[in-house]
């Protein structure tokens, strides 16, 4: 038995799994190995905005180097493409946040993707997915005017190619409907338990996923709290066509994330995360001395935070996060900013990406196969 959903039909991967885009550090190497393993590997781009976005810490330049976003994304695409030449069925993509803090960088990244594809059309054989997140998808639609919205002239008139699958990440039904209006191909419903950037309103996956599936006429991928075959089977049972995982992919042997980050994920239990105002909106961190300081600073804005009202970042929060992200390079785990989801409490190993993905699929297939045995049918005899 092989689990196949509309996901594989639309994107062409072996498995219905997306490795999430995660910043501000690189996932270029991670995306390569995820694609080789049969999932969709996503290149992260937050770290490509040094000097152009307050959402990007200066320390990210140690990973990506210096250069304009369009050049940096082109280099990353070419690196992944080159590493996948011997893997005919491998598929990868790019994650681009489109929040107001990042919009200037996003435009240059989009331009870089389009230019790279036009210069190297063979890349379209494997570059199949664009995932936008953290902002309004409508201005990025290919033909927004035809969908009832006026597109600002500042946006690129040629954002996506017809043969690229456009996914957008949403934290609520209202945002899912906005994505449907933009005519995205796939909606990714991301629950509040996810790591890093989340929404102000705490709507978790068990509520969010079925609500979004019911509200829109688009295929939906589940994100936020997914890490294994059990959660993949649950997502499919609720109507999703696949899952997107971030935190689980960090704790793998091939990911570029620091060893202290991977170890911290394995060591935390399900209560080991905190939510505070980050450089990039509300964010979920692993609990340590530095994240506690960020949350303490965030709580100075009570009651707005607990009423779901957006809160602007403060100079002190920016300082704490910049210091915390820089501390990762020094191996200072207590004073680092380490991002991760609640699912850290269900992660207890650091496998290879291939073993992780194949293990997830084997477990999901076994659970789905045995589901009929778990349902007790009662025959009612006619009187």
CATH of the domain at 44: 3.20.20.70
Q: For 319-328, write each residue's pLDDT tens digit.
A: 888 888 778 7
pTM assigned to the model: 0.89
Tell me how crowded residue 19 is: count the other CB atoms within 10 A of its CB: 32
Q: Does residue 13 form part of some domain?
A: yes
Residue 273 main-chain phi, psi, to 5 deg:
-125, 160
The residue among 6 and 49 whose pLDDT is bigger is: 6
CA distance 61 to 171: 29
Cα→Cα distances 209→201, 204, 247, Å: 15, 8, 19
Look at residue 80 and tell me whether its pLDDT is greater than 80.
yes
Are 81 and 144 in the same domain? yes
Q: Does residue 288 form part of some domain?
A: yes
State whether the Cα torsion 104-243-125-60 is positive or negative. positive
Length of the chain: 383
Look at residue 17 and tell me whether its pLDDT is greater than 60.
yes
User: E-strand spans in 98-219?
Assistant: 127-133, 165-170, 186-190, 196-197
Predicted local distance difference test score (pLDDT) of residue 92: 96
Any idea what the Cα angle at residue 266 is, between residues 260 and 268, rounded to 5°?
95
Residue 120, CA atoms < 13 Å, CB-side half-sphere: 14
Are 14 and 127 in the same domain? yes
Are 335 and 242 in the same domain? no
Tell me how crowded residue 171 is: count the other CB atoms within 10 A of its CB: 27
What b/e string do you get for 198-235 counting C-beta neighbours within 10 Å, with b at 16 or more? bbbeebebeebbbebbebbebbbbbbbbbbbbebbbbb
Q: What is the mean pLDDT of the chain?
A: 85
Residue 123, CA atoms < 13 Å, CB-side half-sphere: 26
Which domain covers residue 335, as residue numbers?
A: 266-342
Are 19 and 165 in the same domain? yes
């Amino acid at each position: 038995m092989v689990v196949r959903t509309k996901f594989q039909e639309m994107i062409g991967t072996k498995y219905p799994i997306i490795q999430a885009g995660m910043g501000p550090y690189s996932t270029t190497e991670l995306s390569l190995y995820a694609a080789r393993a049969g999932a969709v590997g996503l290149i992260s781009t937050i770290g490509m905005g040094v000097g152009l976005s307050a959402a990007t810490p200066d320390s990210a330049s140690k990973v990506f180097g210096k250069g304009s976003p369009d050049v940096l994304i082109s280099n990353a695409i070419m690196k992944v493409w080159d590493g996948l030449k011997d893997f005919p069925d491998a598929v990868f993509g790019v994650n681009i946040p489109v929040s107001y803090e990042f919009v200037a960088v996003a435009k240059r990244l989009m331009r870089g993707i389009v230019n790279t594809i036009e210069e190297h059309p063979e890349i379209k054989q494997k570059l199949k997915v664009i995932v936008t997140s953290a902002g309004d998808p409508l201005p990025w639609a290919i033909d927004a005017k035809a969908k009832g919205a006026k597109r600002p002239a500042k946006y690129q008139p040629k954002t996506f190619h017809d043969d690229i699958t456009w996914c957008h990440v949403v934290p609520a039904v209202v945002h899912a409907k906005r994505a449907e209006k933009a005519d995205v191909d796939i909606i990714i419903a991301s629950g509040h338990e996810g790591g890093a950037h989340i929404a102000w309103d705490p709507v978790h996956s068990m509520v969010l996923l079925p609500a979004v599936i019911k509200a829109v006429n688009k295929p939906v991928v589940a994100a936020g709290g997914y890490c294994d075959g059990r959660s993949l089977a649950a997502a499919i049972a609720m109507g999703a066509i696949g899952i997107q995982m971030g935190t689980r992919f960090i704790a793998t042997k091939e990911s570029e994330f620091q060893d202290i980050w991977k170890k911290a994920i394995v060591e935390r239990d399900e209560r080991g995360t905190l939510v505070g105002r980050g450089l990039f909106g509300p964010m979920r961190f692993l609990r340590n001395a530095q994240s506690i300081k960020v949350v303490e600073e965030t709580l100075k804005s009570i009651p707005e935070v607990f009423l779901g009202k957006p809160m602007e970042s403060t100079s002190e929060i920016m300082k704490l996060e910049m210091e915390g992200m820089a501390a990762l390079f020094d191996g200072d785990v207590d004073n680092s900013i380490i991002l991760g989801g609640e699912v850290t409490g269900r992660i207890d190993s650091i496998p290879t990406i291939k073993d992780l993905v194949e293990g997830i699929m084997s477990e999901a297939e076994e659970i789905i196969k045995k589901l009929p045995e778990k349902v007790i049918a009662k025959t009612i005899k006619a009187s």
